[in-house]
Amino acid sequence: MKKIILLFLLITSHIIPNTLLSNSSLINLKVGNVYIYSYSATIIGGHFSGKIKSTISKDTIVNNKKYYYLNKFPDFYLGKWVRQDPITYSLYYLDKLPNCNNHFQESLLDSFVVQEGSLIIDCNDTLTRFDSLRTRNLFSRNTNYNYYNYSRSNSVSISNSSKVICDFFGIYKVFSSGGGGGGFSSSNYTLNGCVIDGVLYGDTSTTNISQINEISSDYCLNQNYPNPFNPETNISFSIKEKSKVKLFVFDNLGRVVTILVNSSLSAGTYNFIFNGENFPSGIYYYKLESENYKEIKKMILMK
């Protein structure tokens, strides 16, 4: 009996990460979730910075497995159909290749099964990982997170990365650098805010806002134009004094789908270009909130 228990412990130690977070998905896979990252990147001598909006826009079933479409996430900017293994937490994405280490039509995107200091060879990649469990307050929520340092090598290139994966929020920070035939590149991403299950965390404002007038005598939220729209529309508003401003969009059920502005603005008139390409057709509402003013307008996305 003791031999059987010992054998079970040896087996499970290789399929369960040495520092588990909660039972929730390390990337909170649900259609409608939105994540805003600030980034800086150097690619073959050029430097870029700004914000990106990462979305989970749809799901599908393939080979009896459920995948979610992740677009513009750190580490895989181009969209991928992704699933997370419920036991190992490893991430796989749909691939046209016929087989990847017994994962039919899948390739390994990231592995959370590797023990500290050990190696894993999968899908023609060699991965080295080191783990440590920490705790911090993120977006007014106490959360555990794992800190990963790893190197990945294959026949084409070698890359080094650091990644922070948080309980509930998923990918919090990513730094990567590497080189191959095209030269050296590096990138740094940090999660500014997100919308998970319709609840807002942190700052989900983006940079699609411009000030068109520095003078305003009153508060006003204008009707968007064009309306109906597909996929972009303009939302303009005015504030008469410097204040903290929030502009957000919610659906017909009252669920917030994204925050467009969440920052301190000086007096003036502003225009925000809202892109609804990742949202389904329907009626939406946008609301402007400041210290002394609140107003709601309706708009229609028609694809």
Q: Give per-residue pLDDT as tens, 229-270.
A: 998 899 999 999 888 899 999 999 998 888 888 877 888 888
236 phi and psi angles, rounded to 5 deg: -115, 150
108 phi and psi angles, rounded to 5 deg: -75, 125
Q: What pLDDT sits at residue 225?
A: 92
Tokens of 36: 């805003």
| Final residue before a domain boundary, out of 202, 230, 248 | 202
Same-domain status, 125 and 254: no
What's the domain range around 122? Answer: 25-202
Same-domain status, 48 and 175: yes
Number of domains in the chain: 2
The residue that leads in pLDDT, 170 or 129, is 170
Same-domain status, 133 and 245: no
Q: What pLDDT sits at residue 157?
A: 54
Answer yes or no: is pLDDT of 150 > 70.
Answer: no
Same-domain status, 213 and 130: no
Contact 83, 67 (CB under 8 A): yes
Q: In sequence order, what are the beta bridge partners of 282?
A: 301
Same-domain status, 142 and 253: no
Q: How many residues does the structure list for the chain?
A: 303
Distance CA 129, CA 119 (A): 7
Answer yes or no: is pLDDT of 72 > 80.
Answer: yes
Q: Let me know if residue 71 belongs to a domain.
A: yes
Per-residue pLDDT tens for 11-41? 333 333 344 444 345 678 888 888 888 888 7
Q: In sequence order, what are the beta bridge partners of 172?
A: none
| Final residue before a domain boundary, out of 162, 179, 202 | 202
Which of 92, 112, 146, 124 is CA-nearest to residue 14? 112
Contact 33, 54 (CB under 8 A): no
Averaged pLDDT, 70-78: 77
Which of 31, 81, 33 is CA-nearest to residue 191? 33
Same-domain status, 187 and 91: yes
Q: Which amino acid is at 228?
A: P
